[in-house]
Amino acid sequence: MEAIQDIEGGMMRIAISGGAGFLGSNIVEEAKNRGHEVIIIDNLSRPQIERNWGWIHKTYPEVNLFRFASWNKWAIFNVCKMFKPDVIIHLAGQVGVTSSIRDPEYDFRTNALGTFTICEVARKLNCGIIYSSTNKVYGDGINDIPLNEEETRYDFKGEYYKKGIPESFSIGSLEHTPYGCSKLTGDLYVTDYGKVFKIPTVVNRMSTVYGKRQFGNVDQGWLSHFIWSKVNNRLVTVFGNGKQLRDMLYGSDCAKCYIDQAENLDEVKGNVFNLGGGWDNTLSLLEGLKMLKMDYSFGDWRPTDQKVYYSDISKLKKMIGWTPKVDIKRGLKLTEDWCYKNA
């Protein structure tokens, strides 16, 4: 392992687990643009992730990559002990619902044990944690909300219509999928470590994020999966009727939120946030396919698929003044252009 030299002049020191991934590479870009020092911890297990690492290494040659799995406690501890991060942004994880059903043991080890490991490292080094959780922690309880069915989308009916799901929504649903369970485990550990051990922690329960350097697949990153299918002339399968509705958040907007939180950690510590595009940036599968002018076929509904999910992002706006800047039309154009350029 290469020794890390003492660094002077940086505003913050940020360690990013999963930093070579889609969201990680966007956060690296945002952090470096603001003058922060960054290291990446990533096992490079995701398909095509080497392309992102190649871009990071070329663009920011001073950023070091340490190739470890998120549950390798002693390796991560030793790296962070030398680097002395102010905060660990913990993104590393298994990100697919269907993958978690195929291999729940790997899902648990990566998400639950990996996050516990980061908590232990942060506790011993007394640094902060910003954790990437998921809206799947709300489980199948989301599907108990009454819905309106429109021509191309479902939408909430009643108190959540055009507002979205707040952080106070119950996580007590009995059906989360293994992925939801493992991410919720991490969610709870990060929050409790902040309370019990008095380290600054933030949990972001993520909606759908998309954009450049995302190599989406059928299991995760559905909008990028659609775009890559179009680029490669592949027919996509829509699971269910395609009216499922999500709020879409462009990658650079998401990265700005993470670094805003890191820079204001004393103000936001101890909080859970729902992080997404909000109702103004909602899109159904059918609407996305129409915008992309794509053909498609239908398949069966997937287990515990939420027919509608979008976040109430008012808490983020109130606490740190963050709101999305890139709307769906522009974000889709930027993403499609990037995919064609990098096919």
pLDDT tens string 229-242: 999 999 999 999 99
For tokens 């239908």, what's the residue?
298
Residue type, 286: L
Residues near 328 by Cβ (< 8 Å), separated by ≥ 6? Answer: 248, 277, 281, 283, 291
User: pLDDT value at position 302?
Assistant: 81
Among positive and negative, which fits the CA dihedral 210, 106, 130, 247? positive
The phi, psi pair for 327, rounded to 5°, reads -80, 170
pLDDT (mean) for 207-211:
96
In percent, the amount of the chain with pLDDT more than 70 equals 97
Rounded mean pLDDT of the chain?
A: 94
Cα distances from 338 to residues 131, 240, 319, 331, in angstroms, run: 27, 29, 33, 11
Give the model's confidence band at 96: pLDDT under 50 very low, under 70 low, under 90 confident, else very high: confident
pLDDT tens digit sequence for 141-183: 999 999 999 999 999 999 999 999 999 999 988 788 999 999 9
User: pLDDT value at position 8?
Assistant: 44
Cα distances from 252 to residues 73, 193, 202, 241, 277, in angstroms, run: 30, 29, 19, 30, 12
pTM here is 0.95
Segment (H or E) for 23: helix 22-33
Question: For residue 205, what are the β-bridge partners?
Answer: 133, 274
Q: Is 140 exposed, middle or buried (0-12, 13-18, 19+ CB in 10 A)?
A: middle
- Residue 9 pLDDT > 80, yes or no? no
Give the model's confidence band at 43: pLDDT under 50 very low, under 70 low, under 90 confident, else very high: very high
Give the model's confidence band at 4: pLDDT under 50 very low, under 70 low, under 90 confident, else very high: very low
Q: Is 221 exposed, middle or buried (0-12, 13-18, 19+ CB in 10 A)?
A: buried
Residue type, 195: K
Q: Sketch out the chain's domains with CATH numbers.
A: 13-341 (3.40.50.720)
User: pLDDT value at position 7?
Assistant: 40
**Distance separating alpha carbons of residues 116 and 109, to the nearest angstrom:** 10
pLDDT tens digit sequence for 243-299: 999 999 999 999 999 999 999 999 999 999 999 999 999 999 999 999 999 999 999
**Distance separating alpha carbons of residues 143 and 174, to the nearest angstrom:** 12
In percent, the amount of the chain with pLDDT more than 90 equals 88
User: pLDDT value at position 217?
Assistant: 78
Nearest 5°: the CA angle 128, 134, 136 is 145
Residues near 252 by Cβ (< 8 Å), separated by ≥ 6? Answer: 26, 29, 30, 211, 326
Segment (H or E) for 149: strand 147-149
**Distance separating alpha carbons of residues 150 and 153, to the nearest angstrom:** 5
Of 62-76, 106-120, 301-315, the least confident = 301-315
Residue type, 220: Q
Give the model's confidence band at 304: pLDDT under 50 very low, under 70 low, under 90 confident, else very high: low
Asked if 190 and 228 count as a contact pair (C-beta separation under 8 A), the reply is no
pLDDT (mean) for 34-51:
95
Beta-strand (E) ranges in 266-325?
271-275, 282-284, 296-299, 308-309
3 state SS of 29 = helix
Q: Which residues are catalytic?
A: 179
Note the Cα 168 to chain centre separation in Å: 20
Other Cβ atoms less than 10 A from the Cβ of 216: the count is 19
